[in-house]
């Protein structure tokens, strides 16, 4: 008679729950240290006899320090969305994906390579905007020459100029009508919450147009190879066995990746 081993599911589950509670405890402690200086500004009558003075700075810098930490955490959490939607990353990564699909190489290059290339091309394209934000907003704010509201306005100015330059007027009018606001007299009067979706839709439109143009020569190669195989009676041979090496050879001979990268970068100018 064999004795079945005792299941260890409950023990492993309890250990996972313990680890999860431990992590949540650390998160709560860190959140307390971040938010606590803000509550220290409450009137003295609200919490008698309790004072909090964490990281005190000059001229009552407790609240400013806590707000800076909160703003930094907020920006870090929104960084992927900012990079994907407020820069040229959307156009670049979609066009690179269309290029790989047109070649028919499945997962070559892999997604990590395409996303990395898209990030570096985005950084190269957005370098003037980043330089303007650094010199006009970040440096004066760090030097305490302007406040955070003025720094935010100065940081948005070059980014808005970039998005307005890339957004078609038809998309701006579309979202102005959807928002049911009066038609702005100038581009500077377009609200940011209207500009951002119009910019994203315009980027998608441009990316799909470029992807269609990239697809055309590869589709022609597929049609020629399929017609040649049909004329020779080789109907059982998959055309992709012949067309794939031809497309790769053509793409390498014309230095295709350099052409795609240069076309993407110059499309923003």
Give the pLDDT confidence of 147-203 residue by residue, as tens digits: 878 888 888 888 888 999 989 888 888 998 898 888 888 888 888 888 989 999 999
pLDDT attached to residue 20: 46
Give the pLDDT confidence of 247-258 residue by residue, as tens digits: 899 889 988 899
Residue 52 φ then ψ, to 5°? -120, 130
Give the pLDDT confidence of 3-25 residue by residue, as tens digits: 444 444 444 544 554 554 445 44
pLDDT attached to residue 15: 53
Residue 182 DSSP one-character state: P
pTM of the model: 0.69
Decide: 80 and 52 in contact? Cβ < 8 Å. Answer: no
Q: Which residue has the tokens 């979202």?
A: 175
**60-74, 77-91, 133-147: lowest mean pLDDT where?**
60-74
Task: Choose between 106 and 13: higher pLDDT.
Answer: 106
No. of H helices and E strands in the chain?
11, 0
Residue 136 DSSP one-character state: I
Choose among 177, 193, 234: nearest CA to 86. 193
**CA 147 to mean position of chain CA atoms:** 27
User: How many other CB atoms sit within 10 Å of the CB of residue 47?
Assistant: 12
pLDDT attached to residue 211: 92
Token output for 209: 């147009």
Distances, alpha carbon 250 to alpha carbons 105, 175, 221, 262, in Å: 14, 42, 10, 18
Reply yes or no: is the peptide bond before residue 92 cis, omega within 30 of 0.
no
Distances, alpha carbon 72 to alpha carbons 65, 66, 69, 79, 99, in Å: 11, 10, 5, 10, 36
Give the count of alpha carbons within 13 A of 2, CB side only: 3
Decide: 51 and 40 in contact? Cβ < 8 Å. Answer: yes
Decide: 138 and 151 in contact? Cβ < 8 Å. Answer: yes
* Mean of pLDDT over the chain: 76
Decide: 55 and 62 in contact? Cβ < 8 Å. Answer: yes
């Amino acid at each position: 008679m064999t004795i079945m081993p005792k299941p260890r599911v409950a023990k492993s589950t309890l250990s996972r729950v313990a680890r999860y509670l431990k992590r949540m405890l650390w998160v709560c402690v860190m959140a307390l240290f971040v938010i606590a200086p803000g509550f220290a500004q409450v009137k003295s009558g609200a919490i008698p006899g309790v004072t909090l003075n964490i990281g005190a700075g000059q001229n009552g810098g407790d609240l400013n320090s806590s707000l800076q930490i909160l703003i930094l955490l907020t920006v870090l959490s929104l960084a992927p969305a900012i990079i994907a939607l407020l820069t040229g990353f959307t156009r670049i990564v979609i066009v690179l994906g269309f290029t790989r699909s047109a070649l028919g190489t499945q997962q070559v290059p892999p997604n990590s390579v395409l996303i990395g290339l898209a990030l570096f091309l985005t950084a190269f394209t957005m370098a003037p905007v980043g330089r303007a934000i650094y010199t006009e907003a970040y440096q004066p704010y760090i030097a305490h020459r302007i406040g955070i509201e003025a720094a935010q306005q100065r940081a948005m100015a070059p980014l808005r100029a970039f998005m307005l330059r890339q957004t078609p007027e038809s998309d701006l009018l579309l979202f102005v009508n959807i928002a049911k606001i009066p038609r702005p007299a100038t581009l500077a009067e377009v609200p940011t919450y209207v500009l951002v979706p119009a910019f994203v839709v315009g980027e998608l439109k441009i990316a799909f147009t470029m992807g269609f143009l990239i697809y055309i020569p590869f589709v022609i190669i597929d049609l020629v190879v399929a017609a040649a195989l049909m004329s020779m009676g080789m109907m059982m041979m998959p055309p992709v066995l012949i067309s794939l090496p031809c497309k790769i050879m053509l793409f390498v001979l014309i230095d295709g990746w350099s052409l795609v990268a240069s076309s993407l970068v110059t499309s923003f100018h």
